[in-house]
Homo-oligomer: A and B are copies of this chain.
Amino acid sequence: MAKYSIDLDRAFSALADPTRRAILSRLCEGPKSVSELSEPFELALPSLLKHVRALEQSGLISSEKIGRVRTCKIEPQALHATEAWLRQHMATWEKRLDRMAAHIERMKRKV
């Protein structure tokens, strides 16, 4: 698992919430201020900030405060690490299916 320097526990845990996934969806389109992020959600600002902090701690996003405006952006390495973990495991599973199909094909030829 050393390959993944990103903390996958925290990243997957942060992804396990629909509001946090919706925040990520919007940030994939570009950086946004906290007040822009809050617009589509019926959430009090402290609740939204709690989600933003959880996403920051997971490494999936970062934020910077300039003056009175806090702007959030995607940190692609963490998103990529979670996607890579899943893709690699799907590939292992699919390779096994391919090997099974090839084995069945060989068996059929022998009949």
Contacts and interface: CB of A to CB of B under 8 A. Distances in A.
A20 to B, nearest CB: 9
B79 A89 contact: yes
Interface stretch (A5-13, A42-50, A101-109): A5-13
Contacts of A82: 15, 86
Interface stretch (A22-30, A32-40, A63-71): A22-30
A80 B74 contact: no
A24 B79 contact: no
Contacts of A96: 28-30
A111 interface: no
A86 B14 CA distance: 13
Contacts of A92: 25, 28-29
Contact of A79 (B8, B9, B74, B86): B86
B90 A79 contact: yes
Given A12-B13, A21-B85, 9 more contacts: A8-B21, A12-B15, A15-B86, A24-B89, A25-B89, A28-B92, A29-B96, A83-B86, A83-B90
B16 A9 contact: yes
